[in-house]
Amino acid sequence: MADNSFSDGVPSDAAEAAKNASNTEQLTDQVMQNPQVLAALQERLDNVSHTPSSYIETLPKAVKRRINALKQLQVRCAHIEAKFYEEVHDLERKYAALYQPLFDKRREFITGDVEPTDAESEWHSENEEEDKLAGDMKNKVVIAEKETATAEEPNPKGIPEFWFTIFRNVDMLSELVQEYDEPILKHLQDIKVKFSDPGQPMSFVLEFHFEPNDYFTNSILTKTYKMKSEPDKADPFSFEGPEIVDCDGCTIDWKKGKNVTVKTIKKKQKHKGRGTVRTITKQVPNESFFNFFSPLKASGDGESLDEDSEFTLASDFEIGHFFRERIVPRAVLYFTGEAIEDDDNFEEGEEGEEEELEGDEEGEDEDDAEINPKV
């Protein structure tokens, strides 16, 4: 007996498929009528496609027109902010004149030209009581030894190697200093910051004052940093205050054979025709802190610098800013290392906050439903 796979002219497989499709449609209708399911689907779609720019594109033309008006207001705000920073620069110049007598006295104490009075030398440390007790105990035991040691203790002039010690203490500067730079930097007596005159383009000059030495005849080496405090016409919303845009160094008048920024190398050359060999000498650039006074120039002709040059220029700007904002105003604290400890503690605090934030985010991933109220 033959197998009858048709029923009323319709294959049984096709009938089963039609039945399943009908059930699926009914189930879909039921699901789509559930408000919670619809909300979840809409949220998924929003998360996939929503970005600020895509949202702006969906707005009516009238709303976009008002947004453009807001952007014009924002540009005007940026120009007012630029004016604010110009006045800040004027204030810096004003207060620099008030600081200068104190910095001049600092130089006199460092060089030994003036000896501070007892009142000027008095300083109360945080551990003063502990130091006093320890000193009293020591005095009772070795009073005679102390008198002898005091009599024999050397009394150098001023504070020897003050600025050179700062260079060694600050990583940003010590990385620039080569061994052959060190004896030169020991002659450094002062570093000053001078701000541009009123009405002149915004800039500042670093002055490095040296005592007479065996290396160069200059008494002052200068580095000028040019600044810009106005919104960029092409990208006005990127304005965040004054920025260094270029810098100029100075010519160092090296004494014969003392230029540490170049080195002499010997090369052998072979004559192509005769086959003879000769030795020639030539000077090539040499790593040195004093290359700081021969900086790379920012491109002013519209051509972009390569990545290495941009990094070098950015590092130069950062060092100039650090001299101006940190080293010169707080020199004694970088000499003692106290400012460096403060900087390190500040950086560690920032890292701790970042780690704590990351931990909070991980906790949210593990349990989004739990909310911990803060008292």
- Among residues 103, 95, 92, the alpha carbon closest in space to that of 227 is found at 92
Q: Residue 49 corresponds to which tokens in the numbers above? A: 């496609």
Distance CA 66, CA 63 (A): 5
Cβ atoms within 10 Å of 324's Cβ, excluding its own? 19
Task: Parse the chain into domains and list their residue ranges.
Answer: 21-57, 78-115+158-298+306-343
Superfamily (CATH H level) for 78-115+158-298+306-343? Nucleosome assembly protein (3.30.1120.90)
Q: Residue 319 corresponds to which tokens in the numbers above? A: 């060092």
- Among residues 327, 262, 317, 321, the alpha carbon closest in space to that of 288 is found at 262
The CA-atom distances, in angstroms, between 96 and each of 91, 149, 204, 331, 340 are 8, 43, 11, 15, 23
- Among residues 243, 245, 241, 203, the alpha carbon closest in space to that of 222 is found at 203
Alpha helices for 112-196 (secondary structure H) = 118-121, 128-152, 162-169, 171-174, 182-185
Distance CA 258, CA 94 (A): 40
Q: Say if residue 53 is exposed, middle or buried (CB neighbours under 10 Å; 0-12, 13-18, 19+).
A: exposed
Distance CA 38, CA 26 (A): 16
Dihedral sign, Cα of residue 71, residue 72, residue 74, residue 78 = positive
Quote the pLDDT of residue 365: 45
Quote the pLDDT of residue 111: 96
Quote the pLDDT of residue 44: 62
Contact predicate 317/244, CB 8 Å: yes
Quote the pLDDT of residue 363: 47
Distance CA 161, CA 184 (A): 11
Quote the pLDDT of residue 58: 84
Q: Residue 346 corresponds to which tokens in the numbers above? A: 């500040």
Q: What is the pLDDT of residues 300-330, one digit of tens each?
A: 655 677 888 889 899 999 999 999 999 999 9
Quote the pLDDT of residue 5: 46
Q: What is the pLDDT of residues 78-133, one digit of tens each?
A: 999 999 999 999 999 999 999 999 999 999 999 999 999 999 999 987 666 555 66
Quote the pLDDT of residue 267: 80
Indicate yes or no: pTM above 0.75.
no
Q: Crossing angle, helix 35-49 and helix 12-32, to 10 degrees?
A: 80
- Among residues 307, 345, 322, the alpha carbon closest in space to that of 244 is found at 322
∠ CA 18-24-26, rounded to 5° = 105
Contact predicate 313/298, CB 8 Å: yes
Quote the pLDDT of residue 167: 97
Parts of the chain with a pLDDT under 50? 1-2, 4-7, 9-10, 346, 361-375
